[in-house]
Structure 1
Amino acid sequence: MIAKLTGRLDSSGAGHAVIDVGGVGYLVEASARTLDTLGAAGNEVTIHTEMLVGEDFLRLLGFARAEERDWFRLLTSVQGVGAKVALAILSALEIADLQRALASGDSAMVARANGVGPKLAQRICNELKDKAGALGGIAGTGAAATPAAGPQADAVTALSGLGFKPAEASAAVAAANEELGAAATLDALVRLALKKAAK
């Protein structure tokens, strides 16, 4: 499994780039936003990847950040959302905008992506409203954004494992972090977040 590539940007086109790693060119499909971050041919780039394997195909998808890859995985967990549609959504919407759309059930915003009709947009909102909180907190619910890594993210995972909905876990951890400050340990965060979530 290829999880990350670091090399020279050989070329890029509509929906893809070729990354030269030690003389081997990897064709990577990517969202328009990811392609924009790569810059001009010849640049040294690092890209997070997801490999899709089927009976008659092998595709490598690239993402500027691991967080974007996590969102791709979440989007493709929805029935009817394939790789092409998920990349179209990530091209059309910033992750923060996507989080807000899911939190508020704004299917019209999700439907702005190419290939996403009203019914599919509504299904995406319905299925991911609660799950999206695990990927960094949902804006608009009163929860501060939780980073994709570190004690806050681990605390959200811990609370989710105890049965709290991801959005509830994110909100409780954000409130606990605000009270404890940036130097809060995982143990302290979890204990205070549990108290806040239980209120």
Structure 2
Amino acid sequence: MIARLKGVLAETGTDHGVIDVQGVGYLVLLSGRTLSAIGEIGNDVLLLTDMQVREDAITLFGFGSAAERDWFRLLTSVQGVGGKVALNILTALAPDELVRAIGAQDKAMVARANGVGPKLAERIVRELKDKVGSLALLGPGALGSTPVPKGSHAADAVSALANLGFKPNEAANAVQAAQDELGDSASLDALVRLALKKASR
């Protein structure tokens, strides 16, 4: 499983980039947002990735943030949403917009993405509402530009701080700061401990 790539941007296309990692070029499918963010050919880039293996293909999808990758995984858990459709959704909607759309059950907002019809949009907002959970109630920007779907360590850490009496925004910002420092692989225990220190400063 390839979890991330760090190298030089060698080529770009309308929906992909080629990352040169010590002489090996990896073709990675990207959302329009990530493609814009990685800049020009020759730039050093770091992408988080998700690898999908099928009988006829092995495909790498790349993301500029953990939030985008987590949303990709959530979206592709919905029947009828493949990797390319999920990238189209992430091109049309930023993570905080997705939180809003799903929290409000706004299928028209999701249907703005290429390849997403009304029926699929309705299924997406219905199936993901419980997985997004209380983050939709916090409103846009509650976790900065990287809202974290329910079920992740970050979401559990936000819940833990809220249970200790911290306001939702304070808890969310402290957890985001802790995750930025510790990285995506941090344990829940480490995340809560560091978030508590940051929230009490």
Range class of TM-score, shorter chain: 0.7 to 0.9
**Which residue type is aligned with residue 131 of structure 2?**
K
Other-structure match for 2:167 = 178
Closer, same or farther in 2 for the Cα pair 1:21/1:142, shift >3 Å? Answer: closer
Contact 1:154/1:186 (8 A) holds in 2:
no
Instruction: Work out which of the two has the higher radius of gyration on C-alpha atoms and give 1 or 2.
Output: 1
Question: Which residue number corresponds to residue 82 of structure 2?
Answer: 82
For 2:169 and 2:110, the matched residues in 1 are separated by 35
Matched residues in 2 for 1:174 and 1:94: separation?
A: 28
Aligned to 2:156: 157
Select 1:145's aligned residue among 142, 147, 152: 142
Counterparts in 2 of 1:174 and 1:24: CA distance versus 1, 3 Å: farther
In structure 1, the partner of 2:67 is 67
Matched length: 172
Q: From the superposition, tell whether residues 157 and 41 of structure 1 become closer, same or farther in structure 2 (CA, over 3 Å).
A: same
For the residues of structure 1 that align with 2:31 and 2:61, how far apart are their CA atoms?
9
Other-structure match for 1:103: 103
**Structure 1 residue 20 displacement after superposition:** 0.4
TM (norm. structure 2) is 0.75
Amino acid at match of 1:178: K
Query: Normalization by structure 1: what TM-score?
Result: 0.75
Name stretches of at least 5 consecutive residues in structure 1 with no aligned partner: 160-168, 191-199
Percent of paired sites with the same residue: 52
Could you tell which deviates more after superposition, 22-31 or 124-133?
124-133
- Residues 89-113 of structure 1: CA deviation (Å, up to 9, x unaligned): 0000111111100000110000000
Displaced runs of 4 or more, over 3 A: 146-149, 153-156, 179-187
Residues 79, 175 of structure 1: alpha-carbon distance in 2 compared, 3 angstrom cutoff:
farther
Structure 2 unaligned segments of length 5 or more: list them: 176-190, 197-201
Contact 1:145–1:174 (Cα < 8 Å) also in 2: no
**Cα deviations by residue, 1:153-179 (Å, 9 ceiling, x for unpaired):** 7474279xxxxxxxxx59x83993328
The answer to whether the Cα contact below 8 Å between 1:48 and 1:66 also exists between their aligned partners in 2 is yes
- Paired with 1:108 and 1:133, the residues of 2 have a C-alpha distance of 20
| Structure 2 equivalent of residue 56 of structure 1 | 56
Amino acid at match of 1:83: G
Give, in whole Å, the separation in 1 of the partners of 2:129 and 2:120.
14
